[in-house]
Each structure stands twice: as C-alpha cells, then as structure tokens.
Amino acid sequence: MSDFTAESRPGPREWAGHLLGATWALPVAMVSLLRQARMFHPRGSVFRARVVVDPDTQWVQAARRLEGHALVRLSGALFKAEVQHLEVLGAAIRISSSRIESEAPSPGDQDLLLATILSPLTMPLAPFSTRSGDYLANCYYGVAPFELTDVGRVKLRMRPRHHRAPTEEDRREAIETAVRDGEASFVLEARPTLRFGWGPLARIELESAASDVDQEALRFDPFRDGRGARPVGFVHAIRKAVYLASQAARPRRIT
C-alpha cells in the first residue's frame, strides 16, 4: 500500500492483464538472462534531478506530492548500442523526499516509467515516430492510465522544455552536455482520461550525472506509487509479472 493511495481490488481488466503477464513472464526472463541485461532499455544514462511544482498547474496538491529529489534514467528501449535510428526511447523516474544516494528505494518513493509510445495501439509505429538521436526532441508517455490522488484517472506525459540545435554528438553525449549547460528540463503533464488537452503538473530539472549509481542494481517498479500516482488498468496489470521476471533474471551489476 502506498502513502497516498489505497489499494483497490482488481477488476476484470486487471485480472486479465495479470493472467496475460504471467504467460509472458518466462519468455521475458529468458531473454533477459540471455541478454544479461534488461529485455527493454538495456543501457542508459542516469541523472540526479529536482522535481518542482509547475507554476501554471491547476492540480496544486497533486503536484506538491511529486516535489522532491529524483533519479532520471534515459535510455534506448531495443538495443544495447547507441543506435540513433529506428529506436524507442524511455524515461524512468524515481522521486524521493531526500537526495537519492543509492540504488535502493526508500519508503514513500514514486517510480514513473514513460516511453516514446503514445498508446499500446501505436507501439509498432513508435520506432518510426521517435526522434531517437536526441532525448530532448521527444515526448514520453505513460502509455496507460494512472489514478492520481485528488485528480482522478489521468494519462501522463513528459515533454522537454528546451530543444537544443542539432549537433554531431550522439544522444548520450548531447544530453550530458545539456545537463552541464543547465538546459535539460522537462514538464510532467496530465490529461484526464476521455478529455482533450494536457495540463502541467511539475517540472523535472536534470542537475548532474549520477555516475555513482549502479544501473543494474537500480530497479524501477511501475507499481511503486508513494507519491499518489497509481498505475491502473489492463496494460499496467500485464507489467507486474513481466517486470518481476525480467529483474530476477538480470545480472546484479554491469561488468
């Protein structure tokens, strides 16, 4: 149970998602074991960040719950190498009340897992629509709904606040340069389901590279919801068994 949301009994859609996820768990674990890395997002760059309330938000209480220190991991989804074309990008965010010094989560932390995939229906097209050479040239979506305390059921996305002119750097070098220059920041936005129009929640300011964080020991959990953003529905339910299987099969640290 999280700090801000009560556990709800799974409905038929969630049970169907859990069942489908359980059937996928073993194949996913085998891929992770053979790959010696995450099945998706095998390599990435991790940064320390601050999350602050966006001054234009209409959901002040929900945004305040998301304030704090953060780790942000930006990564390609499909390949271990820094492939610059036909790739899907991801952003995994851990929000905590104090500076995050280790890979282990603390009580009350919130993990958000986003990707350059607008919805499950558009997933096959995502490698073609993603500007995979630049982390700051894309929006990152929660893909499926969240129950946000004091707001209700929403979709989430993260969009860049700045976009630098193209350079010869690959995306890892470019985001590291942007962080050093103080130009790597995003807006986390929400949209109530079945409505149009995104509204700002919080700003995520990348501050420095977190080179001391062991990426293999860093395990994000889409169901870690200590700040009041709880994943709900069929698609999120699929992820529970799949994530557990993938993490159990991964090596404990990069060698």
User: Confidence class of residue 252 from pLDDT cuts 50, 70 and 90?
Assistant: low
- Count of residues for the chain? 255
- Is residue 107 within 8 A of residue 95, CB to CB? The reply is no
Separation of alpha carbons 41 and 86, rounded Å:
14
Mean pLDDT taken over the chain:
82
| pLDDT on residue 163 | 75
State how far Cα 69 lies from the chain centre: 15
| pLDDT on residue 254 | 42
User: Confidence class of residue 4 from pLDDT cuts 50, 70 and 90?
Assistant: very low
Q: Give mean pLDDT, residues 129-135.
A: 93
Query: Does position 141 have pLDDT exceeding 60, yes or no?
Result: yes
Task: Kindly report, residue by residue over 209-251, the tens digit of the pLDDT.
Answer: 998 998 878 889 888 999 999 998 766 666 665 555 555 555 5
Q: What DSSP designation does 103 have?
A: S
Task: Kindly report, residue by residue over 148-175, the tens digit of the pLDDT.
Answer: 999 999 999 999 998 777 777 899 999 9
| pLDDT on residue 162 | 82
Instruction: Sketch out the chain's domains with CATH numbers.
Output: 12-249 (2.40.180.10)
Burial 61-97 (b: 16+ CB within 10 A, else e): ebbbbbbbbbbbbbbbbbeeeeeeeebbbbbbbbbbe
Cα→Cα distances 176→16, 82, 91, 166, 184, Å: 41, 14, 15, 14, 9
Q: Which two tokens stand for residue 172?
A: 């890892």
Express as a percent the part of the chain with pLDDT over 90: 55
- Is residue 210 within 8 A of residue 46, CB to CB? The reply is yes
Query: Does position 29 have pLDDT exceeding 50, yes or no?
Result: no
User: Confidence class of residue 143 from pLDDT cuts 50, 70 and 90?
Assistant: confident
Which of the two residues, 44 and 13, has the higher pLDDT score?
Answer: 44
- Between 23-32, 92-101, 199-208, the lowest mean confidence (pLDDT) is in 23-32
- Is residue 201 within 8 A of residue 212, CB to CB? The reply is no
